Chains A and B, each alone.
Chain A
Amino acid sequence: MTAVAERPRLMKGNEAMADAAIEAGCDAYFGYPITPQAELLERMARRMPELGRVFVQAESEVGAINMALGAAATGAKVLVSTSSPGMSLMAEAMSYMAGSELPIVLINVMRGGPGLGSIGPSQSDYFQATKGHGHGDYRVPVLAPSSISEAVALVADSFELAARYRTPVILLADGIQGQAMEPVMPTFRMPDWDTASWELTGADGREPRVVKSLHLRPEDLEVHNAHLQAKFATITEREVRWAGEQLEDAEVVVVAYGTAARVARTAIERARADGLHVGLFRPITLWPFPSKALAELAPRLRAIVVVELSAGQMVEDVRLAVERVPVFFHGRTGGMVPTPSEVVDRLRVAWALTAPTP
């Protein structure tokens, strides 16, 4: 724990995440500019060389992520950041890194899609982040902050998870979180990072090592996949995170993450002022999804309302997690953000169409 100062600083999300990575001991950053995450790259461009660490603005996102792959194989603590279209370009290398079990942290500051889309905030990369970027049977932990302070904490946590499980980790933010400013307590954290047993640093005096995703014999690849699946099962068992607000007496619960959860919080406050018992269930890990906790909560609810900055992606995981409880959805797309009053309206509909639980 390195406490730098005691007073909060007003920080832009992109800059705060960059500082958090630096304080977490990030050795190397690779990226390519794209709105709305450009300030993250800018800050790394300024600070990393000052610290004698590696900063490369690559020729493209494809170049950046493959440089990251190479650096990670040497045991370096690597950060990559981008926004949605750039994430798509990085998909192939994500699959290779998952297969090669290479730890890196990738921050995706989501914008509206598909295609080049808009530069407005979005959560429409949920499927991409949680269900796979590239090909093959793999998952990577996906962490979703809902404030800039939380983003700072989750950057350090992402490095920790990456090293602990030898896996890429995605921190999934959106354009609002990248662009907004909030007070941040500069209590950054340097997590453990031990890659000594597998890193490629030259085989002088020891047996050579191999880091690869190629296993040409199907029998071998199946064994490798079984190992990966066991690891994913362990992550699912141990690393689920979520937060609840006003769940004690809630009859209708909003399930939302990131900026949508912030909008929901305002909507819940207004709905409660009108006598509706509503609460917030906020997944912090999108994979592994907090299915079990939601399933345990569901039987005492009359309805669930999922709010997303998308046409409806996380709502599928919610529906898979719960039985019998009606699941309503409200989303905006393209860079538009649901307003608190839209969410209040949806809560009223859910309330009106469902019966109280006994």
Chain B
Amino acid sequence: MAEEIVQDVKVIVFQLKNEEYAVPVTQVGSIEKMEHITRVPNTESFIKGVINMRGVVTPIVDLRSRLGLEETPVDENTRIIIVDLDDTSMGLIVDAANDVVDIPVDKIEEAPQVIGAINVDYIDGVVKLEDRLVILLDLRKVLKFHEIEAIKSIES
């Protein structure tokens, strides 16, 4: 019996443009509808601002803009995925989020080199699920955590 147990990763699947992306469910705090975002001036362009998430001021990143896709107007499907990384809460604006999928670990493949001409480091891997192709994101890299830490270490 033991051989049949295959390790699964539970992921949240969301849409950006025509592609499907996924982040591990363990990193996701909640999924919220779009609400008023307070713009924070003089920050990187992909940071849309902050929202009040149950009393915590949470920064919001437009994932389209971060991944180099053109921004779209907000519609009723637009969602904010609240992710928790290293005690920091952040929100990601995505086109739609409606799926939780179990992905067997052995199905995760390395990102094919053809994906982009520029070297993107934030893709953890790709998974083929029947007729769907899901791209797994490394959120730390997407959100430039390493750069922030680098800045912090210089400051201290």
Are A and B physically bound partners?
no
